[in-house]
Amino acid sequence: MAKKQSNRKVSSVQGKAPEFEALKLFKEAAGALPDEILVDQIDDIFLRTIQMYDRLNLVLGEVLYWTSENGYFKRWKSPNTGKPFATFEEWVEYQSIEKSKADDLMEAYRTFVVDLEWPDFSPLLEWEKAKELIPVITDSNEAALTWMVISMSVSEVKELVRQMQENPNFLTELDEGADGTPTGL
C-alpha cells in the first residue's frame, strides 16, 4: 500500500538529512581506519542511533498521548474543511503517522510512564522490546522483566511474552541465577 501524501507544509530542507559533524568526519576518515577501529566506530554510531530512535519514540508517544487525552488536536484546522479536526485519528493522519504506530507509541507511554511511573525507560529498554512487554509488564514484575530482556533479541522477548501469557506464573517458576536474575528461558 502506497503511503498517502500529507497536505502539511514542510520545511524547504525536506529530503536532506542533517549532517552531524562526527558522522561527516567519520565518513571522511573511514577508509584510512584499521578494521578493528572502523568496526568499533560503526558499532558506536549504530548504538547511538538506536538510542536516539528509542528516545524519540518516547517523546513522540508523550506528545501523542497528551494531544489525545486533552483534545489538543481540535486546535488544528483541517486543510480539507478549514474546521478543527473532529477526531484524534484525523489529526494523526494529517501528521502522517500510521494509526497503529500512534497507538503503539501512546500505549507504551501510558504503560511505562503514566501507569508504572517510569518517566525515562528508554535508556534501559529499547522501543521494540518495550512495545512487546506492554501486555505483561506490571508493577510487581517490572524490574525482573527489564533486566531479563536487556540482553534478549526482540524475537526472544516476543517468545517470553507468549510464555507469560500462556502461564501467568511463568516468571515465578524460573530458577534464579547466581547474580539473582531468572534463568531457564
The C-alpha atoms of residue 139 and residue 137 are separated, in whole angstroms, by: 7
- Give the max Cα distance, the chain: 64
Helix pair 35-69, 99-108: axis angle to 10 deg:
90
Three-class HEC string of 31-62:
HHCCHHHHHHHHHHHHHHHHHHHHHHHHHHHH
Residue 45, strand partner residues: none
Instruction: Give backbone dihedrals phi and psi of 122, rounded to 5 degrees, phi first.
Output: -60, -30
pTM, 2 dp:
0.69
pLDDT in tens, 12-56: 444 455 556 666 766 777 777 787 887 887 888 887 887 788 788
pLDDT in tens, 86-141: 999 999 999 999 999 999 999 999 998 899 888 766 666 788 888 899 999 988 88
